Amino acid sequence: MKAAPAPRRNSSGLRRDLELLEILGSPESVAGNGLGVNKVAEITGRDKAQVSRTLATLAEAGLVSRDPESLLYTLGHSLYALAARTTEARMVSASAPYLKRVSAATHETTHLCVLRGGTVLTLKSEMSNHTYRALGWEGVSVDAWSTSAGRVLVSDWDETALKDWYDTHTAATKSGVRPDREDLSPLALQSGQSPATGDLASKIQSFDDLRAEIQLIRQQGYAVVDEEFELGVVGVSAPVYDFKQRVVAAFNVSAPKQRFGRHLDQAGQLAAKVARDFSVALGAAPGPSRA
């Protein structure tokens, strides 16, 4: 009888490429803001010209980056983008039972939200059991600073980063321009409201206001908005943490004020508890707060 064929192995070239990526992700590389060709060749014991060609090819694909001044190589933007998409996809898939817990307890639609620059993007929604409801939020982006989810998503940032973000993304609002507000939101449709044409009663009128709101979120573990983003709409959001104890997403519950307004703090506490359970499932350390 013929012997069973040996299992196929990855090509030696691919293994060598992966070895270079692992080296560029090493503590030595991170501490030194990258490694040069000579150092990489020394670590791997490979020919310097071969290492140089391989790194140049990886750089063309965006898997590594080369600083034009120091000539040091680091892991590239494409690699980080792939990792981020993989992590986000896993998070969306794993969030379903947790979103259902919040929706079942509040009888309102619950959302998984992430930050995209100055906007909040809804990745997944668990619809409520109300007979009449509006279209879902999935794939819809809204201004971050004016929402409970947006404030939660920046609640673990240091003050410098928070100030830079606030100055950048509220510039249009300060000048009187409110992007992406021409269409009615799903919840505004549900609550029977007209588009907001005047100033809403936002708690955030300055960076000091935002800083105070962030401190409150850290203390109570959730954020509340009351007709700040849309007339007639209220909501709560709670942070979701990853294994590095960073806020990577938010659970959000939003609903018409006439139906949900009396239950905001109760819903916030519930969302915070379920979001903590989800965070532990993602690898975060257990505990009441990590802000």
Q: How confident is the model at residue 83 (pLDDT cuts 50, 70, 90)?
A: low
Q: What is the pLDDT of residue 96?
A: 94
73 and 92: one domain? Answer: no
Domain hosting 22: range is 13-78
Closest CA to 98 of 271, 287, 283, 284: 271
Orientation of helix 48-60 relative to helix 12-24, angle to 10°: 80
Given this model, what pLDDT does residue 290 score?
A: 45
Does the residue 288 lie in any domain? no
Res. 198: pLDDT tops 60: no
Token pair recorded at residue 66: 């080369």
Of the ranges 103-107, 126-130, 282-286, the best mean pLDDT one: 103-107
Q: In terms of domains, do 73 and 104 share one? A: no
Q: For residues 216 and 203, what is the distance between their CA atoms, to the nearest angstrom?
A: 12
Binning pLDDT at 50, 70 and 90, where does residue 142 land?
A: low
Q: How many CB atoms lie within 10 A of CB 53?
A: 12
Mean of the per-residue pLDDT values of the chain? 80
* H or E stretch at 48: helix 48-60
Say which range, 15-29, 136-150, 178-192, 277-291, has the weakest mean pLDDT: 178-192
The reported pLDDT for the residue numbered 129 is 67
Residues 44, 47, 48, CA angle at the centre, nearest 5°?
95
pLDDT for the residue 188: 38
* Number of domains into which the chain is organized: 2
Of 139-148, 179-188, 212-221, which gets the smallest average pLDDT? Answer: 179-188
- The larger pLDDT score, comparing residue 186 to residue 203, is at 203
- In this predicted model, which residue has the larger pLDDT, 80 or 34? 34
CATH number at residue 20: 1.10.10.10
User: Three-state SS for 225?
Assistant: strand
What is the pTM for the complete model shown?
A: 0.65
Q: Would residue 40 count as lying in a domain?
A: yes
Neighbours of 163 (CB within 10 A): 14
Instruction: Identify whether residues 214 and 265 lie together within a single domain.
Output: yes
271 and 174 both lie in a single domain = yes
Q: In this structure, are 178 and 103 located in the same domain?
A: yes
